[in-house]
Structure 1
Amino acid sequence: MSGAASLQFDTASLILLNIIMAGMIFGVSLSLRLEDFRRIIRWPLAPMVGLFAQFVLLPAGTCLATWLLRIDPELALGMILVAACPGGSFSNVMTWMARGNLAMSVSMTAASSLAATVLTPLNFALYGWLNPYTRDYLVQISLEPGSVLGLVVLVLALPMFIGMFTGRRFPGLVTRSEKPLRVISLVVFIGFVAIAFSKNIDLFLERFHSFFWLVVGQNFMALLLGYGMARLCRLAESDRRAVTMEVGIQNSGLGLVILFTFFPDAGGMLLITAFWGVWHLVSGLTLAQFWARRPLPADDPSLLSANGKEQYS
């Protein structure tokens, strides 16, 4: 291991990060409905392909890559933590920009956020233990999956259910606040990451060469796994784009909440997780703009839906 890196981060900042994370999930969940979950039951193939790539292939592939490449344990655990997180809320916006299946993207985000209450702490503990180079370090930081589960429920599941209830009870609020909340959440989150980096600028510059390509490579792998699985399963092009965005845009904000709460001295993990929060926006927006210029096939189900016909019929 190339020397642990410690960060400057205080309790007030941790509370603020938890509030930001809960606020982002609440804002996104205002437009969620039970129908979004029922849609997965009625047409399960595309969402299941995406969830399989996200919660099985990406964590397993990340674990294998960090093992084979003998990546520094702190950095490797940061990569495993990101891989264990659900899809990020901005995947919905990027799917829309990419002409993808927005309804399925929203359904997948809702389902993955709910599944993450159990699978995020489970995958992080499992794959962190399976990698022999991170196993000892994982023991040193005294991971308690039950505590991580409680935190994930608090900042992910609870705000999601409150947001769904609020959106159903006050539908006018959704129309007025959804877009401003998305923009404000994005700006505040990026600002928070920027402040965290600025307080640790020396550490950032010192370790930049060690984590930059790891994040870029892992994000490319996530996007490739999403699109590859969707294509292998012969999904419609709009579904492929939605699955790709869902797998490639991870909820790194949840990773930061977990990290600052339980591993405040693991600087290497923060560098990976925080930079993911910036880089996946760059790669996702770039890919979305590329796809936005490529029309969908005329027989794509999302186009039929747009013309007033039932999607997936």
Structure 2
Amino acid sequence: MLESLKVLDELRLNFSQSGLFILNLTLAFIMFGVALEIKFEHFKKVILNPVSTLVGVFSQFFLLPLITFLIAILLRHYITPTIALGMILVASCPGGNISNFMSSLARGNVALSVSLTAIATLSAIFMTPLNFSLWGGLFTEIYSRTDASGLVRPLEIDVGQMFQTVFILLGIPLVLGMWFNHRFPDLTKKIVVPIKRLSIVFFMGMVVMAFMNNFDYFKAHIKYIFLLVFIHNAVALTTGYSIASLFRRNATDRKTISIETGIQNSGLGLVLLFNPKIFPPDLAIGGMAFITAWWGIWHILSGLGIAGLWGRKRKRVVTIQ
């Protein structure tokens, strides 16, 4: 497994300036669509009923990165450092753009889901660079001390540039989307669903664009990537549900917090990875990119699966009653 994953590390997945611009524009469009459902009232609800929101934020930005770091440490003899850093990068990103839809499908607390999306998107401007720098740096330090091969150039990235990029890609579309919703509420109601659907198509396009020149490598090593992402995603979903249960949240809130923790904005991770100002072109990031991209596909499948299961279970209960 380790030797197979090392092959991925050596792949160079560089983008041209025009390709990077398209990636950035796609993510900005996706985040604009997310922001169309966010209203100022959601922030008021957080203040009036903060417990579930705080539990969700704690699960997403504190527990998930910490647990991911521990998984990476446990598996460090079986995976490459860049695979581990890819897992940490995904865990450092905010919730994914389709988590609200999945919460609705699961018959969870949609208002809580939207509130968590709003808070997570704003928090990610600071928390994504902070978490990746903290846990990624700690992992590389421990790995270099315990592994004879060490780790060349452990984390030579520009954290300031990462902060700036996240702010531009998340902060600006968030403000514009909320303003558009406030200024044109009727038009927003008409376009929000089509934009959601387009967002999924555009995200899939991002993944295809990233790997169309390396698809043979991806196909050859998918079994290992699949296994790691499957475990990581299952742990994320379980973490959200468990911490919500620990704080005695109701069933709808537990489902929502689980989904918000298990559905990550891996598109942001891809955009950050392919930005040469953050990750230098000569830095081996193949493993990180493959993990991040497959996360983006798998969490849609797993999220829809568990949301559909929860939704059908609730329907049967209601019918029996």
Do both share a fold (TM > 0.5)? yes
Say yes or no: does 1:254 pair with 2:262: no
Which letter does structure 2 place at the counterpart of 1:43? N
CA shift, 1:101, in A, is 0.3
Partner of 1:291 in structure 2?
A: 310
What pairs up with 1:227-306 in 2 under 5 angstroms? 227-261=241-275, 262-263=278-279, 264=281, 265-295=284-314
Partner of 1:15 in structure 2?
A: 21
CA shift, 1:232, in A, is 1.1
Question: 2:178 and 2:152 mapped to 1: Cα distance?
Answer: 36
Partner of 2:105 in structure 1?
A: 97
Question: 1:9 and 1:161 mapped to 2: Cα distance?
Answer: 28
Say yes or no: does 1:211 pair with 2:221: no
Partner of 1:118 in structure 2?
A: 126
Q: Residue 138 and residue 20 in structure 1: after superposition, are their counterparts in 2 closer, same or farther (change >3 A)? A: farther
Which letter does structure 2 place at the counterpart of 1:231? S
Which letter does structure 2 place at the counterpart of 1:197? F
Between Structure 1 and Structure 2, how many residues are aligned? 298
Say yes or no: does 1:133 pair with 2:147: no
Q: Residue 99 and residue 143 in structure 1: after superposition, are their counterparts in 2 closer, same or farther (change >3 A)? A: same
Does the 8 Å contact 1:76/1:134 carry over to 2? no
Say yes or no: does 1:192 pair with 2:202: no
Deviates more, 1:256-265 or 1:239-248: 256-265
Q: Residue 188 and residue 115 in structure 1: after superposition, are their counterparts in 2 closer, same or farther (change >3 A)? A: same
Partner of 2:166 in structure 1?
A: 152
Does the 8 Å contact 1:125/1:145 carry over to 2? yes
Deviations 1:209-260 (A, max 9, x none): 3322111110000000000011111101110111011000000011111111
Which letter does structure 2 place at the counterpart of 1:246? E
Q: Residue 120 and residue 134 in structure 1: after superposition, are their counterparts in 2 closer, same or farther (change >3 A)? A: farther
Say yes or no: does 1:180 pair with 2:179: no
Deviates more, 1:278-287 or 1:184-193: 184-193
RMSD: 1.8
Question: 2:32 and 2:151 mapped to 1: Cα distance?
Answer: 34
Does the 8 Å contact 1:8/1:199 carry over to 2? no
SS at structure 2 position matched to 1:87: coil
Please list every run of 5 or more consecutive structure 1 residues that lacks an aligned counterpart in the other structure: 299-313
Question: 2:89 and 2:115 mapped to 1: Cα distance?
Answer: 23
CA shift, 1:267, in A, is 0.9
Q: Residue 138 and residue 42 in structure 1: after superposition, are their counterparts in 2 closer, same or farther (change >3 A)? A: farther
Partner of 1:40 in structure 2?
A: 46
Question: 1:20 and 1:105 mapped to 2: Cα distance?
Answer: 23
Does the 8 Å contact 2:37/2:114 carry over to 1? no
CA shift, 1:120, in A, is 0.3
Q: Residue 134 and residue 108 in structure 1: after superposition, are their counterparts in 2 closer, same or farther (change >3 A)? A: farther
CA shift, 1:85, in A, is 0.3
CA shift, 1:8, in A, is 4.8
Partner of 1:29 in structure 2?
A: 35
Question: 2:49 and 2:187 mapped to 1: Cα distance?
Answer: 29
Question: 1:138 and 1:248 mapped to 2: Cα distance?
Answer: 31
Which letter does structure 2 place at the counterpart of 1:161? V
Does the 8 Å contact 1:77/1:134 carry over to 2? no
SS at structure 1 position matched to 2:274: helix
Question: 2:189 and 2:178 mapped to 1: Cα distance?
Answer: 14
Does the 8 Å contact 1:85/1:251 carry over to 2? yes
SS at structure 1 position matched to 2:313: coil
Question: 1:56 and 1:175 mapped to 2: Cα distance?
Answer: 34
Which letter does structure 2 place at the counterpart of 1:26? F
